[in-house]
A and B are shown apart, each in its own frame.
Chain A
């Protein structure tokens, strides 16, 4: 059970769930959560590769920390965008925001 493939499979599952959520959810909050899922899938990959392929330098762990930092920043920006959009449209439904339709 404790092999690289298991972790990669879980990460793949998590990534696909996130992608599905990103494409399927109509609420912006839901899309944001999905993106977080995808980022975490990437994190799992980093950690797994770090542990099984080159355990000595902790590069993968450092990278995971970076990804977490970026995720936090991204969440802040995305939330403020969502807030701004909500002030304008009184809704956070992505289907309502179609002003850029050609």
Chain B
């Protein structure tokens, strides 16, 4: 598909959307930070305009047939030219709309959530920074530009996770997120270098159209898997998944925006962006499928035992991202992107609802929230139910349709194991989301040990909460964002035909349809819901999961499969035991030795030369006269 140059209106609109949030960041951070009201206005305006631009672009290019590009040359060297600009195709338009919409809604929501926080203006400047980098990432026309914004997104994530940096755990979590994603980005960067050296062209269109033809299969797989390393880091996939639950230390709207709906989905977006390249390499797709499946199952089991409401959604985010990658790995571009879209809506909604509860009850423990009367908050309760049901995949909510699409793609694979894993995942998802919903709706009074535990949690939460300096109020700012997102969650599923048309340039592939699969998937979900009802919902239930009867397994899940402990060990043995020791030895012996040697040499020479300084003025004078006389003689005799 040959790209066409973007027309003037599109160019200016897109460029303004790409620049305005950054302008907002600069203005707030350097000028208007002491004046909160002005800062908020600047930030909201500068995120509302990209929102309008994004929707206008989407509606205007509703039936587009060729991607639109705008590029300026950034740097050249030898055979390599790196450009800067934007590439608008259905995928980036959809993602642009998601990013700007949720970013705007979160900014509105934060008016209520962060009201009274002393760092509110700074918070909004960071949100603007994030919006800028995310928009830049989404519309980037080549991999180098995408990588730059990719790292900027990581930076804003670090800043926002550690926003309450006086809390030790928050600053630790920020560091952890930064380091772990950087580990994946190392692979991403190597992948870019491999592509640059072998292809000489990093533009996304070029990669998608030429990589398969010009690279040998081994090289193609290598570079695709290396780029996928970055995805593993950013989207919190299997080996690097533990940073995301810790990232919940940040303010809840941040979790909704960055760590569920948009930033962590950037990994999935990258794979979709390069999908023609990936689909040319079956091995790379197999890697994606395997990593996605492992992540999805691991994270779902972790979510089954968490008591912290944000942790549940964090694990669920990880597992849903794994699910999207499963869809992509199974060969269905549409399935991954569709689930990304619906997930952005319902997961942002889940986090924002949880934020209302956390704000109101000052605790993260949903058992405690329930006992304090979470049911009385009607709007968030209804919204969280809609979103939770969408997450579980209940008809007719958005999650149902996207999940069915992925299941359909999995069913097309040769091995049945992936489909069974997917069904197991659907069951686990339904179980943990309805566990939370039933607990929230139906508080039980009669559990002394739990009540005690939750009272402890409440005290801690109160202590933490007071530090944040929240003030109550702003309920409607929060509720309006919830209602908008709830409408999306309900309606998005109905647009699947339109979306697949749009994404495939008007000629969609026919999706496989299996009635048995539909029945099985719905059954898996219903079993999950029923199990949750038995254990948490019905009147006589003890509100204890079946896992509490398997303490070993429960600890395993609660300890995140000991992944963190493993990393600790690895860091101790490999980093401290090998690298640090070698570096220390190098430092002590080689570097210190060289510098000491130079010092000793200087001192020794100085000591030798000091004998010339007798302190006798006339002695020196005599030598000078002698030397001049000799020079004179030399010239005389010449």
Contacts and interface: CB of A to CB of B under 8 A. Distances in A.
A2 interface: no
A32 to B, nearest CB: 13
B618 interface: yes
B625 A23 contact: yes
Contact of A94 (B614, B618, B622, B625): B618
A60 to B, nearest CB: 22
Interface in A10-62: 19, 22-24, 26
B616 interface: yes
B615 A100 contact: yes
Contacts of B613: 100-102
A52 B622 CA distance: 33
B612 A102 contact: yes
A99 B625 contact: no
B621 A99 contact: no
B74 interface: no
A99 B615 contact: yes
B610 A102 contact: yes
B617 interface: yes
Nearest to B621: A23
Contacts of B622: 23
B609 interface: yes
A87 interface: no
Contacts of B615: 97-102
Nearest to B612: A102
Contacts of A94: 616-618
B613 to A, nearest CB: 3
Interface in B49-90: none
A16 to B, nearest CB: 11
A21 to B, nearest CB: 11
Given A98-B616, A101-B615, A19 B625 contact: yes
**Which of B612, B618, B621 has the most chain A CB within a 10 Å cutoff?**
B618
A102 B609 CA distance: 8
Interface string A55-99: 000000000000000000000000000000000000000110111
Chain B at the A interface: SS class: helix
B635 interface: no
Interface string B597-617: 000000000000111111111
Nearest to B614: A101
Contacts of B614: 98, 101-102
B467 to A, nearest CB: 64
Interface in B587-602: none
A95 B616 CA distance: 6
B617 A97 contact: yes
Nearest to A101: B615
A65 B611 CA distance: 42
A31 to B, nearest CB: 8
Contacts of B612: 102
B486 to A, nearest CB: 87
Contact of B611 (A19, A23, A24, A102): A102
A22 B615 CA distance: 16
A98 B482 CA distance: 88
Contacts of B618: 22-24, 26, 94
Contacts of A26: 618
Contacts of B617: 94, 97
Contacts of A97: 615, 617
Contacts of A95: 616
A99 B616 CA distance: 10
| Residue among B611, B617, B622 having the largest count of chain A Cβ atoms under 10 Å | B617
B460 to A, nearest CB: 70
Contacts of B625: 19, 23
Contacts of B609: 102
Nearest to A94: B617
A96 B611 CA distance: 18
A97 to B, nearest CB: 7
Contacts of B621: 22-23
A41 to B, nearest CB: 14
Contacts of B611: 102
Nearest to B609: A102
Contacts of A24: 618
Contacts of A19: 625
Given A94-B617, A97-B617, A102-B612, 5 more contacts: A23-B618, A23-B625, A100-B613, A100-B615, A102-B615
15 contacts: A22-B618, A23-B618, A23-B621, A24-B618, A94-B617, A94-B618, A95-B616, A97-B617, A98-B615, A100-B613, A100-B615, A101-B615, A102-B610, A102-B611, A102-B615
Closest A-B pairs by Cβ, 7 of them: A102-B610, A101-B615, A102-B613, A98-B615, A100-B615, A23-B622, A94-B617
